[in-house]
Homo-oligomer: A and B are copies of this chain.
Amino acid sequence: MTQSRKQREIAKRHTLFLEIGKRILEEEGFHVLSMERIAELAEYSKGTVYQHFTCKEEILIQLCIEAMTQLLTLFKRAVNMEGSTRDHLVGIFFAQQRWARLGQNRAEMLQHLSMHGVKDKITEHSLLKHNQLEQTIFGLVKNVVDQAIKDGDLQKQKHMQPEETVFGLWSLCTGGQVLQSSDLPLKKFGVDSPDLTLLRTLVLVLDGLGWQPMHNETQFKNLLKRLDAELTLEYEITDN
């Protein structure tokens, strides 16, 4: 009992630190995230923060894991929606875009994680959890492709395994986020709505694959409308 109360307190503080870390990350970016800053804002001492996280990279990955878990949830909802396998894939892309807009720097967080010298500092445990999540998400998308082949919506490609198709889509999606989160003047480049453009590029890939059933413009617009309505994710209210 007593034990458990203590544990709850610790967990609460853990969340508090993460929360503060998230705020800093979203408002100002990883480069100003510091342990002392978190300690100060949380009104604890540095040492206490270090009892929860071995380094700031560890905070980063835990936030990434949280974010990726949300992404997975959204993806699951996308593939469970009414519709064709093709719709599901568009849904997944759409979900990813929604997700990236929750909080400012969702996409940038993952970026940081992937940079040289970051993963080295991270706990074995967190890294494992992260990798598993990554695999699960990859698997979920691959399932859609597999399903499409099984259903006959998609011809098995001669020169591209399902995994490779997923990798291509993943690249498109990631690249889109990266370009958007870098402060390119996309408007000046003539790209008014990058997310929509990415969705349309996705459609081009699907067309290229001959993925049935094709959409006409009206159907596509309707699909987007449906996704917009159904794939919402309120900014999570954390107060356990």
- Contact of A164 (CB < 8 Å), options: B31, B178, B190: B190
The binding surface of chain A is classed by DSSP as helix
**A169 cross-chain contacts in B, Cβ below 8 A:** 201
Contact A203 B208 (CB under 8 A): yes
**A175 cross-chain contacts in B, Cβ below 8 A:** 170-178
**A206 cross-chain contacts in B, Cβ below 8 A:** 208
The chain B residue sitting closest to A158, CB to CB, is B217
**A31 cross-chain contacts in B, Cβ below 8 A:** 115-118
Q: How many identical chains are in the complex?
A: 2
Given A173-B175, A200-B159, A205-B201: A114 and B168 within 8 A (CB)? no
- Contact of A163 (CB < 8 Å), options: B177, B191, B207: B191
Q: How far is the CA of A138 from the CA of B189 in the complex (A)?
A: 8
A14 adjacent to chain B (CB < 8 Å): no
Contact with B along A160-198 (1 / 0, CB 8 A): 111111111111111111110111101001110010011
Contact A161 B190 (CB under 8 A): yes
Contact B168 A198 (CB under 8 A): yes
A to B CB contacts below 8 Å, 16 in the list: A29-B115, A30-B115, A30-B116, A111-B178, A115-B182, A160-B197, A163-B190, A167-B197, A171-B171, A172-B175, A174-B175, A174-B178, A178-B178, A201-B205, A204-B209, A205-B205
